[in-house]
């Protein structure tokens, strides 16, 4: 183990288990999440997830507004309704929000989504 000193702190570097045990068959570093390549892949995945979340936010906010007008309910209650309906119908929240917004513009709401939203609204308002 090697010790590194940073100012007043002392950090101890613990090598991977295969290195500590003296095994020559250590896992290749490019597959290790702590390697630079693994870290870059993890960061790219995180950025993609954030881009998806940012793109989905307006439709989710619109769906919350629709629920608030239909409810009537508060913004937090509308959010809880969407979350609850999403979890109970095994549907991504952004997809459920798209279905609700599309129904506002004339596309029929799928019966499973309608039932999930109705049950979620009752659950949220009762709690």
73-97 pLDDT, tens digit each: 999 999 999 999 999 999 999 999 9
* Joined tokens for residue 55: 């793109």
Q: Kindly indicate the confidence band of residue 33, based on its pLDDT and cuts at 50, 70 and 90.
A: low
Measured at the CA of 87, the angle between CA 86 and CA 91, to 5 degrees, comes to 45
Give this prediction's pTM: 0.65
Where are the extended beta strands (E) located within the chain? 2-6, 9-13
90: alpha, beta or left? (left if phi > 0; alpha if psi -120 to 50): left
């Amino acid at each position: 183990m090697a010790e590194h000193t940073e100012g007043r702190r002392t950090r101890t570097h613990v090598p991977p288990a295969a290195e500590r045990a003296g095994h020559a068959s250590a896992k290749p570093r490019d597959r290790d999440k702590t390697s630079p390549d693994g870290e870059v892949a993890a960061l790219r995945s995180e950025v993609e997830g954030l881009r998806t979340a940012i793109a989905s936010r307006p439709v989710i906010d619109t769906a919350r507004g629709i629920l608030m007008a239909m409810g009537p309910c508060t913004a937090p209650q509308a959010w809880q309704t969407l979350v609850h309906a999403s979890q109970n119908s095994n549907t991504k929240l952004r997809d459920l929000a798209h279905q609700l917004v599309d129904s506002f513009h004339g596309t029929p709401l799928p019966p499973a989504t309608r039932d999930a939203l109705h049950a979620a609204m009752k659950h949220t308002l009762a709690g």
